[in-house]
Amino acid sequence: MNQLPGSIGDPTRTVKGISNEGSAGATSQAKKYRINKDILPQKAVQEPESFLIIERYNVDTIVKHKPLNGVTGTKDRQTGKRGKINGFSDNSRKRLKFQLRNTIHLFNGIIALTYPSEHPFDGKVVKRDIDAFSKRLTRMGMIVTWVLEFQLRGAPHIHMLVKGKINKQWLSEAWYEIVGSKDEKHLKAGTTYQHIVDDGDPRAADDKIRCRKEFERGNRNAKRLYVTRTEVVGYMLKYFDKREQKCVPAGFANVGRFWGATRGLLQVVKKVIKGKDFTLKRMTRIIRRWQKAQLRSWGIRWKWRGGRILLWNGEELMCHLSALGLSP
């Protein structure tokens, strides 16, 4: 009885009892062309490449490590539609802090704008007034960063950082006209202006002493005329740490954004480094450890949770990398 091959298409197996003279030759020919894959030259495994992006601002430095296809692609990540703003969020506070730290050197004055006793309860009206006042300053060649706050009585209160010379009489009359106030007291007390000076300027220290003495004499309306840049940033951020300033007062609708700025204030020098993934990861790890050590020396505990690395002093970082021979 004939027996079928054990495997279909196997040239080394034949049917028992059937004479096939060419079977031996086919078998030897198949063995002749059999390839041993172990002796073939293996294709070299290329080390993957990636990008290291360094963005240097006036004070801060941002470091990002991304894969090769994460930077060259033209499609950006999908962003959803922004929802309704009901308060001053922590993320908005972080963005404001970053904005102020890297642009405070541009300003030389701070304006406070107050509403009269009859103030609006609609954020759209407030934004319209802010926009109208900002445009008047812009036409004068000024740059602006504004921050919205709320007083204890629930009235909106605006702080504006400006650059340029402002006539105090013009300032009072312009805001008085924009809000449509009919209160003569508001014309005199609706605006204030303070000069912003560098840290360590003696005018700020002397003015602080003068203001304290006037306050001790009973002048509760004593105002400082000179403030330092660090004091301005600290005041604006500390003000929002209070719970009552983060929440929108009852009955106030359409609050919208809590701060805004003239376009193009943030100046950045961006450098993209392409290289071996292992080398760039090592550089990123050194930067991360350096940042952690710096913050620890300031009494701040920090744990990297992925993503970008925000450095508060990028100049020292560049010096540190240069000493290690890793300067980008």
Q: Summarize pLDDT for 303-326 with one digit per residue, the tens.
A: 777 778 887 766 666 676 666 665
Q: How many angstroms separate the CA atoms of 108 and 100, rounded?
A: 13
Query: What type of residue is 95?
Result: R
More confident site: 69 or 297: 297
Q: What is the largest CA-CA distance in the chain?
A: 127
Tokens of 48: 């993957």
> Where does residue 18 fall: left (phi above 0), alpha (psi -120 to 50 degrees), or beta otherwise?
beta
The C-alpha atoms of residue 324 and residue 285 are separated, in whole angstroms, by 13
Q: Do 311 and 317 meet the contact criterion of CB atoms below 8 Å apart?
A: yes
Q: What pLDDT does 41 receive? A: 58
Highest mean pLDDT among 2-16, 52-66, 70-84, 125-139: 125-139
Statement: residue 23 has pLDDT above 60 = no
Distance of alpha carbon 174 from alpha carbon 139, whole angstroms: 13
**238 residue type, one letter:** K
Rounded to the nearest 10 degrees, how much is the dihedral formed by the CA atoms of 167, 172, 176, 179?
80
pLDDT of residue 74: 37
- Judged against a pLDDT cut of 50, whether residue 80 lies above it is answered with yes
- Residues 87-99: what's their mean pLDDT? 83
The stretches of 262-313 forming alpha helices (DSSP H) are 277-297
What are the backbone dihedrals phi and psi of residue 265, each rounded to the nearest 5 degrees, phi first?
A: -75, -35
Query: Does 135 or 49 have the greater pLDDT score?
Result: 135
Secondary structure E strands in the chain: 49-56, 61-67, 109-114, 144-150, 156-162, 191-197, 226-228, 259-261, 269-276, 309-311
Q: What six digits make up the tokens of 73?
A: 């692609």
What is the Cα–Cα distance from 260 to 289, expressed in whole angstroms? 34
Q: Pick the range with the lowest mean pLDDT from 4-18, 197-211, 258-272, 274-288.
A: 4-18
